[in-house]
Structure 1
Amino acid sequence: MNPAWWQIEMTVPAAMGEAVEARLQTAGAESVSFLEMGDDPVFTAGQLWESSRCQALFAQAPGREASLHALIEDEGWQPYQPTVQPVAEQDWVASTQAAFPARAFGRLWVAPGWAATPLGAAVLHLDPGQAFGTGAHPTTALCLRFLDAHIHGGELLTDYGCGSGILAIAALLLGAGQALGVDTDPVALRVAAENAQRNGVAGRLQLALPHAAPTPQADLLVANILAEPLVSLAPLLARQVRPHGRIALSGLLHHQEAAVRHAYAPYFALDPVERQEDWSLLSGRRTSGV
């Protein structure tokens, strides 16, 4: 018996995500989904992670399996370790919605449009799409919990490496007065602007590439990037936090904590590290005018 669907699955580098998605869609894909490597869904955002797992679903048609193998060959996708598999019929709407639940982070909920959330809660709406920023990944979750604990109302926040804008938008929904999102990827900034518009905070969020970004002294600065850039950016990020302001640094693994702590110790009184799974968040209060 013929299967109802065929699926291509492969690991796609961040820089190739948009091009691969566009090619799959022109080849007839009914849906294209990107997931973080630990199976967490990836929502609309700029890329922060080096690669994502791509799944593309095609309706059954004569010669479909052969045509998908030919597509992989023609596009040179063999290094992405693609697989082509038959998929049985199922309720795709129900299964997709089940894969993207609402998630709570203290006062804040991150949810797709169809998910129920408590009445009166602060809700950040994101729907599935390409790239990073659901709150599912431990580093994002650590940062969201930090914001829930430290946003009290009216703060100026900088989100350095903002990607989807999830952290800056979350801060504004929790009561921050203004936010600045900085990212090296123009696509990320475009998607962050779309997410801000959808969540009703576009008027309070400024977005910029690093070379064009203003350098306000923020009450709070969050940087959910990777350990190596965190270390090299320490003097720059420290200058962008006001005296007694707070910083939160994530995207680092446990074994990278010491290097990041050493880089920021001259500028901040650092808190005990927060950890979730293999990942860490280092935070602290600005102490020096250096």
Structure 2
Amino acid sequence: MPWLKLRLHANQDQAQALADAFEEWGAISVTLEDAADQPLFETHWDRSPLWSEVQVTGLFPEHTDTDDILSRARERLSLAENPPHQIDLLGDEDWAHSWMAHYKPLQVGCHLWVVPSWCEPPEPDAVNIILDPGLAFGTGDHPTTSLCLEWLSEQPLQDKTVLDYGCGSGILSITALKLGATQAFAVDIDALALDVTRRNAAHNGIHSGLNVMLPSELPPNFQADIVIANILFGTLIELAAEIKARIRPGGWLVLSGLLGSDQATEVRPYYEPPFEFTLHERQKWMLLAGRKPG
């Protein structure tokens, strides 16, 4: 049967309440998407992240009274008028597959691909990370993530321990293990991200070597051979002492999530010395990689 797809724009504070309300009002599925071309980052280390402008999409049965839904949304969000919205009528096949067409296998390094579960790997003998779009940040298509993946693909990871600080979807931890790392510690403050990481690991056949936890659960003296922090530059500054302490002598630190040279320049003094960074850039996003003196 046909379905009604109702899209509403909301701000960061409204989005989750609106998504919960959609389910309460009969939506069979609800998705949250970026409405402002903004990647999903941990903007505060003590709360779950979300974009500043969010598109909330609910899929409702065909005969749903959308005027009533809009009226309820206006009341729930304490608005004077209906929020910006769009209503589409979709057939069974359309709603199930239309969004999938936007996602294709993505090459992110030498013999390294990120492949949606409904696609065949273009290079079967390569390292293929099976990953579907979802709420947790990190599908490989954003420059901050692809820079990290490309850097990982160029490293000798055998017998290495990797700390993924702000793991999101778990893509960096999963990739590190598939590239030969012995252990990966996937850390995030968001319980949803931790659950998504575990599920993505299972889909990729990762059954050992992955440790998923809150930052507070890391052992006090734990250190890794490689620490990757793909988070906002403000958080990189706030957590500089903690992050630096987690790298073994001779180990590598990778900082990503830096937009423009100004942010990269602002972060560097918090880590240099002891690190001396090289800069990698893609579409105005910056990655800093440096080794801790042995």
Shorter-chain TM-score range: 0.7 to 0.9
1:170 matched to which residue of 2? Answer: 175
2:232 to 226, 238, 244: 226
Cα distance in 2 for residues equivalent to 1:87 and 1:164:
30
Cα distance in 1 for residues equivalent to 2:178 and 2:79:
43
* Structure-to-structure mapping, 1:161-240, within 5 angstroms: 161-214=166-219, 215-240=221-246
What's the CA shift for 1:61?
1.4
More deviation, 174-183/131-140? 131-140
Cα distance in 2 for residues equivalent to 1:18 and 1:198:
27
Deviation track 1:133-171 (CA, whole Å, cap 9, x = no partner) reads 211222111111111112432211000111221111111
Q: Which amino acid letter does the alignment assign opposite residue 148 of structure 2? A: C
Q: Which amino acid letter does the alignment assign opposite residue 247 of structure 2? A: V
1:34 to 32, 35, 58: 32
Cα distance in 1 for residues equivalent to 2:56 and 2:265:
34
SS in 1 for 2:276: strand
* Structure-to-structure mapping, 1:87-126, within 5 angstroms: 87-89=88-90, 91-106=94-109, 107-117=111-121, 118-126=123-131
Cα distance in 2 for residues equivalent to 1:138 and 1:270:
19
Change (3 A) 1:92 1:49: same
Change (3 A) 1:193 1:253: same
2:132 to 124, 127, 132: 127
Cα distance in 1 for residues equivalent to 2:18 and 2:135:
11
Unaligned 5+ residue runs, structure 1? Answer: none
1:259 matched to which residue of 2? Answer: 266
Deviation track 1:239-286 (CA, whole Å, cap 9, x = no partner) reads 211222111101121121111111111121211x21222321111111
More deviation, 219-228/235-244? 235-244
SS in 2 for 1:150: coil
Determine if contact 1:250/1:281 at 8 Å carries over to the other structure: yes
Determine if contact 1:252/1:281 at 8 Å carries over to the other structure: yes
Deviation track 1:164-192 (CA, whole Å, cap 9, x = no partner) reads 21111111112111111111222322221
What's the CA shift for 1:17?
5.6
Unaligned 5+ residue runs, structure 2? Answer: 41-46
Normalised by the length of structure 2, the TM-score is 0.83
Determine if contact 2:233/2:257 at 8 Å carries over to the other structure: yes
Cα distance in 2 for residues equivalent to 1:286 and 1:114:
41
What's the CA shift for 1:217?
2.3
Aligned length: 279
1:141 matched to which residue of 2? Answer: 146
Over aligned residue pairs, what C-alpha RMSD do you find? 2.8
What's the CA shift for 1:238?
1.6
More deviation, 16-25/187-196? 16-25
Deviation track 1:166-222 (CA, whole Å, cap 9, x = no partner) reads 111111112111111111222322221222222222421112212221243211110
Determine if contact 1:183/1:209 at 8 Å carries over to the other structure: yes
Q: Which amino acid letter does the alignment assign opposite residue 26 of structure 1? A: E
Cα distance in 2 for residues equivalent to 1:134 and 1:47:
18
Identity, % of aligned positions? 36
Cα distance in 2 for residues equivalent to 1:278 and 1:49:
22
Determine if contact 2:3/2:59 at 8 Å carries over to the other structure: no
